[in-house]
Structure formats: structure tokens, C-alpha cells
Structure 1
């Protein structure tokens, strides 16, 4: 396809040249890189936002997007572009590894100090299934939970999905892998879905974070465990390396990061060492300084 070829959805057209300019701009702002195979997906959401803002055409919309002082439209567009599909207890072996292998090692390392706080960061939060799954696993499977203070923070770039996570209302599909006893204990039926209880909702703090913005990530430090699963597949090599450096700084020495099954930190950055536990392969920030 030539640079002047057009894609058309309804009455709005986006040239190949304009699309490439947008793709570069969005990448710089979010770290998310769109492959050519995603063109239809991206075009559709762009055109939805052109129409929603009453812009005359894509170029006028793009000018507004780049120069709007508040950044409000960029946030609306980011919310539209991010994919949030997950469910409770996804990749459950890592939750088992957290309880059976990672936490005992962290407790042993902290035994000589008076620090009884364990901090866990879940990013991206999506609609909350992962951080709430972590909380339930700790409550139900970790015998030492009452001897420690636990802080779970969950972050996402999508403000809309963060709002859904805070509400904590889920479909049948989201809860399909939950143990029945947990469903009965932590949820109540609401219409055709399920509402998570207030105690569990209050156990997780949700925050908006853009991993590519140092001002956003700088406050996130001294975590013992990070869950960042199935996010880096949307980044290119440069953004993945930036994210790895962010996670290194966010972890305490000896801290752990869990990635998705299709992701490998060894191919991204030499900062972490792989640890093969009985339940899963997890990556660790070395105890010694780099």
C-alpha cells in the first residue's frame, strides 16, 4: 500500500502517512507499539474518537490530541486502545509460587529486621482480577498472613478500567476458575454478575501509572514482589528495556517479578536473574548492587 493510500470507516479517512505519524506519537506517549496487523483495530477506535469529539476529520483531531493542554483526550484514547481481558486465578501456578516459595524466602530475609511489611505491585491492574486474586490467595493459602502487614497496589494506564476495578463487579466468565468456597465467601450475586465484598476491595489500592513516564513511576519503590503479566508483549524492545529498568528500581534487592508465560525477562534485560521454583520460573533482582 502506498503512503497516500486511504483506509476508510464510515466517512472518516486516515492516510497511511497520518497513521504512521499517529503511531509514532502514541508510542512516545505510552510505550505501546501497534503492528500493521492491528491497523483495523486502531483505525476503528481512532474514528470513534474523531466522531465523539466532533472533529472535522482525522487531521484536525490529531492536532487537538497533540496540543490539548489538559491531556484529557489522550487519556480517553488510551482507555479505548488498551485491551483489558482477564479472569480470576489466571496462570494460577504463579500464585502458588508466591505463597509456597517466594514469600517464605522474603520472610527469611526479613527475619533479622523489625520490618514486618510486605509490598506487592500488580501492573496492569486491568479490571482487578489479578490483585484481588493475590489478596484471596494470601488470605486463604498463606498461614503466616496474620504475622505480617501486606500492602497490595495495583496500577494501570487506563482510568476507565481502574474505575471498574474499584467497583469490583464481574461476569460469570471472570469468576469461572474461582474455587466455589471463595466465590461464596468473597462475592455476592448482583443481577447477572458478582460483586466483590468491601473488605477485599479495601485491601487493594488502585492507581493510574504510565510505565514510560518517569514522573509516574518514581514514587513506586521498595516492593518485594511485582506481577507484570502479559503487558510487555505490547511494547517494543526499547520500551521493554525501559520497563525492566523501572521494575528494577521499584523492587527491593532480592525482590521478585512475575511475568506472563509467553514473556521472558532474560530476552529483555540482564538486570534480573531467573529463578526456577517448583511451581514456576520467576525473575529476581539480585541482592548485590548492579
Structure 2
């Protein structure tokens, strides 16, 4: 592998500048990303693609797209870097709060109806980005679900982007991420501000487990085990029909019978897979894997 060079020495790949790609190069890269992630990119996102390729060419010292693409195909580490820079991470605490209301008032009571105190309940946030969504679940349960201490609640946050998982484990957030939380809640669950940021208290950081996962990879999803409730919001919109169906099948297998999945407000499982039952609750519309014998 070539020794990384200073960005200024790499022709056409200065940090922050776009590297022109021809249509065939765009096509080859997009097909590669699709095969690895299920995400759809194309000519319409040329500038977005070229900027990110330029950054990775600069970081690896590659002078041409041909050399860089050969390097990607030979290096799983570089595949990880490439996928990381192409993922979209937009989130904040208490996003789509109505689903948290539904979690406490409808989903969890149904899940634990036939369980004993101390039994395991598993909740999955995927993709979890920098951790705001799974940590929101933990905070919501502490604040609003009286039975939180009666069961063994396991919360798992997963993402294909390994960079955001590192940030999630650190649990450090700025003003925008915290803007939906009441001041008193921020004081209870976050350390004193430092340079405009706050860190989630250690007990809460330790309450969520973070893992890497690829939703279109059956083995990757299966490795996470089975869950009672899945929050999978605003990722299927980046897939095509084939990738959505593959991801939906993997998510179905990841749910315990009778388990629930919450999607983003623009997403509909009914348009993807007929395996799930649509459930209308007071606070939200969700989808359920039918129970045993259904």
C-alpha cells in the first residue's frame, strides 16, 4: 500500500476539493457501495460523491481514482472508511417523541404482559448514529415508565458507521442535540458543560451497548440476537426496493414473535413487506411481527 502523503501533494485530491470522476467511475463506485450497504447513490449526487472520494484519496495518498478503487477492493479497512464518509447522521435527543410515548404506554406493557419480574426485555436502535436515540430510550424509561426497574432492560444501539459508534460511546453532545430536552432533565443526566458541550453521566453511558451492523447482511443482523422492540427510523429511504425488502426480512428475523418495529414518519412497512401487521396505537402507528401460531 502506498504511504499516505500530505494532501497538497496528491494531484486533484486536495482536502475539501472534489475529484472529477467520469460516468463509468461514478457507476462502479455506486455499484460497490450498493453491494456493501444497500444504499443508493448515482449521477444526481455527483458532487457529494466526488467530495468524499477526494477526502479518501487524500487520506490514502492515491493519485487516481483507479488506484484508489483498487485499494478499496483490496482493503476491508478502507471499505469501512469509505462507508463511514457516505453515511448520513442526523439526529437529536427525543426525536419523534410520540414513539417514546407509545413505547411506554402501549408497546412495553404488551411485551411484558406474560413475563415475570426480572425477565429480559431487549430494545434495538438501528441505525443509532451518535447515540442520541438509544440514550433517549433509556432516559424516557427512567423518567416515564414505572416498571423500568422490574425487568432487565437491555438497550442496544447499532450502526454501519464505525465512527459514530465511537462518538456514541463517548456520550458528548452539543446544544443542538440537547435542544428538545427540558433543562431539568439535562441537569439530571448530563455532567456540567465544558466548552459548550455536556457528557452523559456514566451510569447512562453504560446502560446502552453499541455494536456495528449492516442491515442488508443477514449474518450481521443475526449476530445481534432477537429483540422485542426495534427502532429503525429514516434509513430505509436510502435503499431501493430490493434492498428494503432484504433489510425488512432481516429485521423480521431479528424480532421475537409479537415484537414491534417503529419506522420513520415517512416510511411504511406495508409498502415493503407483507410479513408485518400494522398496529395503530394512541400515540403512533407501528408494525408487529405476528406471535407464535399467528
**TM-score scaled by length of structure 1:** 0.92
Q: Who is 1:44 aligned against?
A: 51
Q: CA deviation at 1:8?
A: 9.8
Q: Who is 2:154 aligned against?
A: 151
SS at match of 1:252: strand
Deviations 1:229-288 (A, max 9, x none): 001111111111111111111100000000000000000100101100000000000114
Q: Who is 1:84 aligned against?
A: 89
Q: Who is 1:166 aligned against?
A: 169
Contact 1:221 1:249 in 2 (8 A): no
Pick one of 38, 41, 50 that aligns with 1:34. Answer: 41
2:284 paired with 1:242: no
Rounded to whole Å, the distance in 2 between the matches of 1:196 and 1:11 is: 37
Cα 1:66–1:109 shift into 2, 3 Å? same
Contact 1:221 1:252 in 2 (8 A): no
Contact 2:129 2:159 in 1 (8 A): yes
Rounded to whole Å, the distance in 1 between the matches of 2:47 and 2:18 is: 15
Rounded to whole Å, the distance in 2 between the matches of 1:154 and 1:11 is: 33
Rounded to whole Å, the distance in 1 between the matches of 2:59 and 2:289 is: 45
Pick one of 56, 60, 64 that aligns with 1:53. Answer: 60
Cα 1:254–1:54 shift into 2, 3 Å? same
Q: Who is 1:126 aligned against?
A: 129
Q: Who is 1:98 aligned against?
A: 103
**TM-score scaled by length of structure 2:** 0.91
Contact 2:128 2:158 in 1 (8 A): yes
Deviations 1:189-229 (A, max 9, x none): 12211111000000000001111222211222321000000
Rounded to whole Å, the distance in 1 between the matches of 2:231 and 2:189 is: 22
- More divergent stretch after superposition (30-39 vs 231-240): 30-39
Cα 1:115–1:287 shift into 2, 3 Å? farther
Structural RMSD (CA): 1.8
Unpaired segments ≥5 residues, structure 2: 1-11
SS at match of 1:13: coil
Deviations 1:4-31 (A, max 9, x none): xxx9995833110111011011100111
Q: Who is 1:282 aligned against?
A: 286
Rounded to whole Å, the distance in 1 between the matches of 2:46 and 2:55 is: 14
Pick one of 247, 257, 263 that aligns with 1:259. Answer: 263
Q: Who is 2:181 aligned against?
A: 178
Deviations 1:86-121 (A, max 9, x none): 10000000000000010111111335xx77110001
How many residue pairs get matched?
280
Deviations 1:37-59 (A, max 9, x none): 32211111011111211112011
Unpaired segments ≥5 residues, structure 1: 1-6
Moved runs in structure 1, 4+ residues, more than 6 A? none
The structure with the greater share of residues assigned to strand is 1
2:198 paired with 1:194: yes
SS at match of 1:105: helix
